[in-house]
Structures are given as C-alpha cells and as structure tokens.
A = this chain, B = another copy of it.
C-alpha cells in the first residue's frame, strides 16, 4: 500500500535502461508540470518516496538533487522539499537610461523598481579608487586607475543584483560622483553636468552559473543562473566614460531591448 495520494506518482519500469533515480525525477517533474504539485507545495518526503518506490534513501535524494539542479524544487531542512515558487520578475526596459528619467532626478534602479511595484533598497555601497582590471582598462581606453562604485540592490528585502561602476579618475575625482550619494539622477546625471553629454550605451550580456561568492551575495537558490551584464557609457565625443559590471539573479529579471531594422 502506498502512503501517497493515489495517482500522484506511477511505478518504476524495471526493464528500462533509464536509471531508477532518473525515472523518479522524471515522474516528479511530470507531476509538477501537470500541476499535481503546485508552487510552494510540499513534495512527498524522502521516507514516503523510499516506501512508495521501494528504493534506498540515497536513490530518492539523487532524484531530488536533479530537480534541484534544474531549479524546480528546493529543500528546507527539517520541513521538506517544495516546488520553487517563481519570484516576481523585474523588466528592464530599453529606455531605462533615457534622459527624461534622469532629468526627473530618478536613478535607473528606482525607475525599474516602480514599474515592478516593489520596495527598492541599496546597500553595501563602497566608493574608492583602485587599479583598473585589464578588461575595464580596455573598455575605458587604457586608463591605469579608476574610481569604483560598488553596491547591491534589493527588492522587497531580497538581493537581486550587485554592480560595480568604473570611471576614469580624470573625470570623476573630486566630483559628486566620488561621494557616497551622487545626488538626484545618479552618476549619469552628474556626468552630463560635468560636460560629458551621453550619447549611447553598449551592453554585453552573458548567462552562467554563479560562483560561490555570487550565491552568497545574491542569496541564490540552487539551480538559479546569473545574468552578467557589462555596460559601457559613451559621451558625444565617442569617449567611454563609464563601465558598469552587473551580476543579476536570473530568476528576477527580464531584459528588454529594441533593435532597429535599418
């Protein structure tokens, strides 16, 4: 007699070449997909699945670890294994750096947070001068030292991205950009006041699994990749005036862009 709700999960196929733990993962995945287990709902416990399938506990745990790697479920010690709810997603629109936002004294993050309806926050702000990495130096045009602004962004208390801005010293040193609070409209507004009228931004996007550091900083669940975005800001003279390196929790973002057809 199974202890599980009838019909939730099937039997194993002993004639199949597919490993037992994969068959179990397949059945759980399929049950989740069918809505048999909903978001946030608890899956059967390891002990229940051991009994239901007649396998050892490690085999069941192996199945769970597959689903965890896929980002489908997450385990809570002492409570159970749950279907991972999808967090609300922030949409980054391609006009998020438009001048009319800056002129209203609003930073890009606040503009986006409003659109998402969440409560935004910034923490672990660090501003200092340091040696430029080869990547940053290449993008900024062979500068040796840069002003760095590091910060982490949170939405409703959840860390969603952290970023580092790099600016050439001859532009930023001794200006409000080097202050903890650069003032309304953020550093892009200050750059324009300093005579660097912005022309366009280049953005490069990659996706990959996070490093252990990134898992900590963003409190990432297993199976959640990061989006790595590197933006370079150019002024109307064609000079690169800032590089911003951003790592985002991929389950919290949709990036939107508009491409010309011409």
Contacts and interface: CB of A to CB of B under 8 A. Distances in A.
Nearest to A72: B209
A238 interface: no
A261 B199 contact: yes
Contact of A227 (B199, B207, B260): B207
Given A29-B212, A251-B208, A259 B70 contact: no
A262 interface: yes
A200 B98 contact: no
A222 interface: yes
B70 A256 contact: no
A26 B19 CA distance: 29
Contact of A261 (B58, B201, B206, B225): B201
Contacts of A207: 207, 225-227, 250
Interface residues of A, number: 48
A121 to B, nearest CB: 24
Given A225-B250, A261-B198, A208 B71 contact: yes
A16 interface: no
Nearest to A225: B225
Contact of A256 (B26, B69, B200, B204): B204
Nearest to A25: B212
Interface of A: 26, 29, 58, 65, 69-71, 94-99, 188, 198-212, 222-227, 233, 250-251, 253-262
In the A-B complex, the 3 residue pairs with the smallest Cβ-Cβ separation, listed nearest first, are: A207-B207, A225-B225, A198-B261
